[in-house]
Amino acid sequence: MSDPIRVRLTGVGGYLPRDVVTNDDLARKFGIETSDEWIRTRTGIGQRHIASGDETTASMAAEAARQALDYAGVDASQVDAVLVATATPDQVFPAVAVQVQACLGMTAGFGFDISAACSGFVYALATATALMQSGQANKVLVIGSEVFSRLLDWTDRSTCVLFGDGAGAVLLETGAGEGEGVLSTHLHSDGRTGDILYVDGAAGCPSTSQHLRMQGREVFRHAVVKLSQAVDEALEANGLTGQDIQWMVPHQANLRIIEGMAKKLALPADRVVVTVDRHANTSAASIPLALNEAVRDGRVRKGDLVLMEALGGGLTWGSALIRM
């Protein structure tokens, strides 16, 4: 019997918009009735990057992808598929993924977008892994790219202070050894909770407003329970405990949620990759951006066991375990 196809992570990349907006900027320059103290205490956020007109979901995704390819030493022409997780595509179609293909000069392979809000990267990782395990692709770019600043109601202080823009990417390749690479992914969604975190208006209809709406406390409550379940599921599926995890690279919505999950796993703070303080919540981009940072600064190393978890609008949620 032939060996099962195993998927390894060989490249990481990220892009953050040039403009940085601090909490104080929001209060002073943007005139929002808020304070650095409120935002930091409730969320851990200190600043966020906001995209300018020339920084689009596709351009940021392409830059993050270029970096991931460079890291892995792979040429774009060798890539079989591009998957982009985004809730903020530049257009209804073409998909961001095919725009990325064009930016990278790819004339073969395929690309499509995945819509699972803040859980999008975990969904895209799971989808890419399944495509690869079924023999349909050997090298896949998995990207999370978002310009949430364009979805925010800047008069709603309960949401507009929470998000930022950016893109993160990984390159996946077949050929991992036993016990290496993507060990498992676990996806969930429950549409009954769609009304606690959503975008109003109709997609592609310019006459209706399109703004993110969130019942923050309700989402927080679901996040604590559902992320905990998704983490338990990942550990159980692999016969592991929290002690086996070297790094948690979580979705970056709120430092209090991240700390709660670390406590549950008995992980010390220096084993948790945190970017929410500088990036705020970049939705589907938050996990690959955090991973990119931690791999490039030498924290996450080959052989380390990395746990990812995310929850977002839908609600959608999930987890993934990767041996780097």
Q: Where in the sequence numbering do the catalytic residues fall?
A: 118, 251, 281
The answer to whether the CB of 145 falls within 8 A of the CB of 96 is yes
Q: Examine residue 11 and tell whether it contacts ligand UT7 (CB under 6 A).
A: no
Rounded least distance, CB 253 to ligand UT7, Å:
4
Q: Examine residue 86 and tell whether it contacts ligand UT7 (CB under 6 A).
A: no
The answer to whether the CB of 139 falls within 8 A of the CB of 78 is yes
Q: Examine residue 118 and tell whether it contacts ligand UT7 (CB under 6 A).
A: yes
Q: Examine residue 311 and tell whether it contacts ligand UT7 (CB under 6 A).
A: yes
Position with the least CB separation from ligand UT7: 216
Could you give the CA distance from residue 240 to residue 244 in angstroms, rounded to a whole number? Answer: 6
Helix boundaries (H) for the chain: 23-28, 36-43, 57-72, 96-103, 120-133, 157-160, 216-237, 255-264, 276-279, 286-296
Q: Which residues pair with 187 in a beta bridge?
A: 318
Q: Examine residue 216 and tell whether it contacts ligand UT7 (CB under 6 A).
A: yes
Under DSSP, the state recorded for 87 is S
Could you give the CA distance from residue 281 to residue 166 in angstroms, rounded to a whole number? Answer: 10
The answer to whether the CB of 186 falls within 8 A of the CB of 237 is yes
Q: Which of 84, 122, 147, 253 binds ligand UT7 (CB under 6 A)?
A: 253
Q: Which of 223, 267, 280, 284 binds ligand UT7 (CB under 6 A)?
A: 223
Closest CA to 300 of 261, 260, 245, 259: 245
Q: Per CB under 6 A, which region of 124-132, 185-193, 211-219, 293-301 contacts ligand UT7?
A: 211-219
Could you give the CA distance from residue 242 to residue 235 in angstroms, rounded to a whole number? Answer: 7
Q: Which of 111, 120, 312, 318 binds ligand UT7 (CB under 6 A)?
A: 312
Q: Examine residue 261 and tell whether it contacts ligand UT7 (CB under 6 A).
A: no
Q: Per CB under 6 A, which region of 35-43, 87-95, 121-129, 265-273 contacts ligand UT7?
A: 35-43
Rounded least distance, CB 80 to ligand UT7, Å:
30
Choice between 13 and 314, CB closer to ligand UT7: 314
Rounded least distance, CB 103 to ligand UT7, Å:
27
Closest CA to 283 of 176, 151, 101: 151
Q: What residue ranges bind ligand UT7 (CB under 6 A)?
A: 34, 38-39, 42-43, 118, 157-158, 161-162, 216-217, 219-220, 223, 253-254, 257, 281, 311-312
